[in-house]
Amino acid sequence: MTRAVAVLLAVAAVLAVWLWPQSADAHALLARADPPVNASLRESPTLVTLFMTEQLQRTHSSVQVLDSAAQRRDIGETEFSDEVPTQMGVRVLKLEPGVYTVVWETLSEVDGHTWTGSYVFSVLNQDGSAPSGSGIAIDLDRPGPPVAADAVVKAIGLAALVLFVGAVLIGWLLRPSPLPTLLPLMAGTLAIAIAGTAYESIAGALRLGDIGFLGDVLFDSRNGLWLQQRWYALILAALALSARLIWPRSVDSRMLLRLLAVLALAWLASTSAVSHGAAIGSGWIWGTLFDALHLSLVAVWIGGLASLILALKDRPEVRVEAVRRFSLVAAASVPVLFAAGLLSALIQIPDVGGLVDTDWGLVFIVKVVVLLALFSAAATNAFLLRPRDADSDGQDEDLARRFRRMMRIETALGLVVIVVSAVLTQLPSPASAQPEIEQKDNTVVETVARGDVVVSLEISPNLVGFNTWTATVDAPSDNPVEDLLLRFRYQDAAVGPVTVNTTPIGDGRFQLEGAYFGLPGDWTVEMELRRASGDDLVAAVRTSVESGYQASPFAADRGGALALPLTQMDWNGVGALWALIVGGLAWINRPNLRDRFGPRVADGAFVGAVLGLIVAVVLLTGLHVEPGRTLANPVALTADSVERGSALFAANCVSCHGGTGAGDGPLAYSLPAPPANFTIHVPFHPDGVLYAWITDGIRGTGMPGWSPQLSDQERWDLVNYLRANFDPLATQ
């Protein structure tokens, strides 16, 4: 391996450390729980169930429930579900009123990462008041190497993979093959990859406890199976290269390159199979393929460019032809790379908030900035500096020198992109960190005056469960408020009041945190203001408290492994994107095809470009088949069916769609898109479409799928209710 490549790999390690955020989570995160996070329960649960963001390796994933004295209150082994591979739970003893801490440990089946986390919930006193006690602090430190070290190893490993694939490509592409020049590069990258794979295997075992768990890492998880495949591919490639170096005359170059190409594909597959795209659940096959295609084309472009620089170092006489050949491959790769990268990014970024509110999103923005610089360097090389014929290379040596320098800059920027991508693989993406049940925020601020004292009380998030009460007091300086108590009264007098001291936090502000709203409904919060002299004051604030959780619009299971993994577009949009890419490539490459294969092939490319444009336009504007359009309603539109649907509508739909179906329910404002106005939509859609929407939800909105909660009969009853009440023609 050349000194330049060694320097580039060292830079990759430094960049990975520099880009790594101060704190980061692993991938199998908590998506939702039952009881929910910070819940206040009237009765003891019998089972605590957690739903994680990735499939779980069962032998090293567990749940415990601890009381305020850190004593375990769970019984039996952690239970898992064959139907839901992300679910685990544990049964508990009858829990007395108190605060309980749920502690979980996970080993991701997909990427082999371990993680520990915790949350609390409360069991209320019999009168509905908040219990005494508090959650316990959990040590979340994990054994094994620091997580930032994983990013460094991943960055170096990806750089080695890209350089190896590029060397195989250039070995195939150029005539005569520069294989002897590229052999040291291939051998060096293989050595680095073997060391990196050994680190991943050993680090995984150490995070489980010690090196004795190495067998569990390699043989008891999906991640381990792909690690095994990588081991086989790397060892076979190393043996093949060793045979060529020892017996150069006996090992044919073309046969060696064929074998190395197959092993490089296996290496690529083992890397993409543990990517974010492979961990998304529904549609994971497409997510994996998009990631694999993206990584492969990065290797073709950046790895090929690095190997081209190395191959041409001592062969200036073939520079123009070599650059021309590689430029054709790179030009065809970049648009496909862009499309695959765009789809992969959309899978991992379900909404704009995930781009700006997470470490993954911020690092992704860095990647986009570097990509813009990379595309600028590539465009400069392709359109301004690249020699066009054999004579131009010799006529303008200064131009050729600038071209070679820009090639190196392009390669360096490509390496930075690879390093940033490596950091991204070690961070939870917005999609994997997106909770299936997310907490609403109904924060209120009320101001009350009592004589010469004005007090403002902020309640956040003003929901059942854990809240923060912050009181800001404006009182005369000669008679300040020295202490403040909060007294909580529920609308039902059977629930006794609870009085709690607040904590002064300076500047006339007092704060209290806890789970004192145990039930939904109207609460009165009395503030008892104790002054330095004179009478104490009491000010009261009334607030309406509701349950604090709603289904995320991205929570619904959208199908199996081949389902569409995107929320921002449908299959028509995906098909239109690829039609434009294929048509655009055909159009751009017409001159090259004419020169190489003749005018007929160029004419065929022209026809292909036009067809690609037509297909894209038709998919985007003219071809849209709604789900369920051909599905017949098997339930007659009778008064009984409509009555049953009315009860279901009141119980499940009014909160978003409103009692009149106008999309103005009390939760409508909290959704990412306004709920449907039934008076507008129902008359224009057949029963089957309405049934499909109720069953599967509507992607990108707050409409969840109701198939797990409602039976087929109940969903058709809902359809009949909608038809009878919002379609004027149905009753005529």
CATH of the domain at 404: 1.20.1630
Using DSSP's 3-state secondary structure scheme, residue 163 falls into: helix
Q: What is the pLDDT of residue 43?
A: 81
Angle at 281 between CA 277 and CA 286, to 5 degrees: 45
* 617-673 pLDDT, tens digit each: 888 775 555 566 667 889 998 999 999 999 888 888 888 888 888 888 777 766 666
Say if residue 496's pLDDT is above 80: no
Q: What is the pLDDT of residue 437?
A: 45
Domain boundary, last residue among 547, 572, 588: 547
- Say yes or no: 36 and 14 in one domain: no
Q: Which tops the pLDDT comparison, 731 or 373?
A: 373
Say if residue 165's pLDDT is above 90: yes
We report the CATH number of the domain holding residue 510 as 2.60.40.1930
CA end-to-end span of the chain, whole Å?
82
Backbone angles phi, psi at 387, to 5 degrees: -65, 140
- Say yes or no: 281 and 359 in one domain: yes
Domain boundary, last residue among 495, 513, 547: 547
- Look-up of token digits 């960055």: 155
* Widest CA span in the chain: 103
How many structural domains comprise the chain?
A: 3
Is 609 part of a structural domain of the chain? no
**Spatial contact of 189 and 1, defined as CB atoms under 8 Å apart:** yes
The residue-averaged pLDDT of 690-712 equals 80
Is 184 part of a structural domain of the chain? yes
What is the DSSP pairing of strand 40-41 with strand 114-123?
parallel
Q: What is the pLDDT of residue 265?
A: 94
User: Highest mean pLDDT range out of 395-399, 408-412, 556-560, 681-685?
Assistant: 408-412
- Say yes or no: 242 and 215 in one domain: yes
pTM score of the predicted model: 0.69
- Say yes or no: 107 and 242 in one domain: no
Token pair for 575: 């098909």
- Say yes or no: 409 and 473 in one domain: no
Q: Which tops the pLDDT comparison, 498 or 720?
A: 720
Least confident residue range of 376-380, 428-432, 533-537, 647-651: 428-432
* 42-64 pLDDT, tens digit each: 788 899 988 887 788 888 899 99
CA distance 277 to 284: 6
The residue-averaged pLDDT of 208-214 equals 82
Tell me the average pLDDT of the chain: 82
Q: What is the pLDDT of residue 689?
A: 85
H/E segment holding residue 571: helix 571-588
Say if residue 90's pLDDT is above 90: yes
Q: What is the pLDDT of residue 600?
A: 87
Is 140 part of a structural domain of the chain? no
Range of the domain at 509: 441-547
Q: Which tops the pLDDT comparison, 497 or 525?
A: 525
